[in-house]
Amino acid sequence: MDIVLLGSGNVATHFGKALSHAGHRIVQVYSRDLAHAAVLADALNTSAIDDLATVDPAADVYLIAVKDDAIGQVAAQLPASLKGAVVHTAGSVEMNILALQARTYGVIYPVQTFSVAKPVYFSEVPLALEASDEITYTRLAELAASLSIRVFPCDSRQRLALHMAAVFACNFTNHLYAIGAAILREHALDFDLIRPLILETAEKVMEHQPEDVQTGPAVRHDTGTIQKHLAALNGRPDLAALYQLISDHINHPQVISSK
């Protein structure tokens, strides 16, 4: 398919490369910053634009991969008459933000974390799909299937839940790694010491449900160890508060309330 890539950041780059690799044609790369668009456009052997009025109206898909709060603006500034569907890639933005003029539209949300530093095997990234109508869904499903073996329908409410789940299991998890690293640093110990444990913890839930493999002092009701840890954290009330709240939640996942 012919695709206009709207955005030139991390997600746009990963999509652009995967789409190009799958045999699609990237017609243009847009960014407000032309030099930034040009970097990705060069890599994809196509042209860069910084004016949404100059978007090619004959493309099959207009893929918006910009910051969440800019998606609406980009969609609104696109020419009124476009051949293809306007699609965004965000977890927590409703599809209906694209419901402008007489267009078809949809969402392709990749359930993965992309970084510049590390390549991602796009072919195994789950792609959550939503579309304004059945014909558009079929077209987007075809496009998504050329990128990944894991394509599934997902409405805007489910997608928000999926993104939230990812925030807990990925973003927050990484912050717990950072807390572990900080505690080690304070005691002249290297983060490398818990790297095997971190990997093992993740690998364990590849085949098990996390509830079934919970370990540690909280789930064992080992109050002696919990008290020792809280005492050792007495200079860090921030960490003690997190320790207490998460430990309580492990044992009473429903009853903890916000104060």
Question: What part of residues 227-246 is at the interface with a second copy (CB under 8 A)?
Answer: 228-229, 232-233, 237-246
C-alpha closest to that of 74 among 132, 6, 8: 6
Instruction: Tell me how far, at minimum, the Cβ of 40 lies from a second copy, in Å.
Output: 20
For helices 34-43 and 10-21, what crossing angle results, to 10°? Answer: 30
Which tokens in the block code for residue 181?
């690293």
CB 102 within 8 A of CB 83: no
Instruction: Tell me how far, at minimum, the Cβ of 112 lies from a second copy, in Å.
Output: 6
Residue 197 contacts a second copy per CB under 8 A = yes
Q: Which residues pair with 105 in a beta bridge?
A: 86
Residue 221 contacts a second copy per CB under 8 A = no
What part of residues 56-115 is at the interface with a second copy (CB under 8 A)?
A: 67-69, 92, 111-113, 115
The stretch near a second copy (CB under 8 A) out of 18-26, 51-59, 80-88, 146-154 is 146-154
Residue with smaller CB distance to a second copy, 79 or 119? 119
Among 23, 80, 134, 215, interactor with a second copy by CB under 8 A: 215
- Encode 161-187: b = buried (16+ Cβ within 10 Å), e = exposed: ebbeebeeeeeeeeeeeeebbebeeee
Residue 254 contacts a second copy per CB under 8 A = yes
What part of residues 11-50 is at the interface with a second copy (CB under 8 A)?
A: none
Among 120, 137, 145, 146, interactor with a second copy by CB under 8 A: 120
Instruction: Tell me how far, at minimum, the Cβ of 59 lies from a second copy, in Å.
Output: 28
Residue with smaller CB distance to a second copy, 135 or 241? 241
Sheet holding 47-49, edge to edge: 47-49, 25-30, 2-6, 61-64, 85-88, 105-110, 127-131, 151-153
Among 77, 96, 138, 225, interactor with a second copy by CB under 8 A: 225
What part of residues 151-180 is at the interface with a second copy (CB under 8 A)?
A: 152, 154, 157-158, 160-180
